[in-house]
A and B are shown apart, each in its own frame.
Chain A
Amino acid sequence: MRAGKQPADPAGTGWPARLHVVTGKGGTGKTSVAAALAVALAADGRRTLLVEVEGRQGIAQLFGVDPLPYEERHLTDAPGGGEVRALAVDAEEALLEYLDMFYKLGAAGRALRRFGAIDFATTIAPGLRDVLLTGKVKEATTRTAGQRRAYDAVVLDAPPTGRIGRFLNVTAETARLAKVGPIKSQSEGVSALLRSPMTAVHVVTLLEEMPVQETVDSIAELTSLGFPVGRVIVNGARPALPAGRAVTTAELRQGLLAAGLPADRATVRGLHQEAADQVVRRELEETLRAELVELGRPLTELPLLPDGVDRAGLARLAEALVRAD
Chain B
Amino acid sequence: MKPIFMTYTKKDLINLAVCMVLSVLIIPTFIKTEYWYTSILIPWLCLALATIGQQIVMGYTGQLALGAAGFMAAGAFAMFNLILRVPDLGFVGSLIVSGLIAAAFGILFGLPSLKVRGIYLMVATLASQFFIIWMIDKFGWFKNYDSSGIITAQDIVILGKPFTTPLAMYFVCLAVTTILTLLAMNMARGSTGRNWMAVRDMDIAAESMGVSLLRTKVQAFAISAFYCGVAGALFAFCYLKSLEPVAFDIKLSFKILFMCILGGLGTINGAFIGAAFILLFPVLLNAIGNNVFHGAIDATIISSIEQVIFGLLMIIFMIYEPLGMAKLWENLKQSIRSKLSSSGIKGIKSPVLKK
The answer to whether A and B assemble together is no
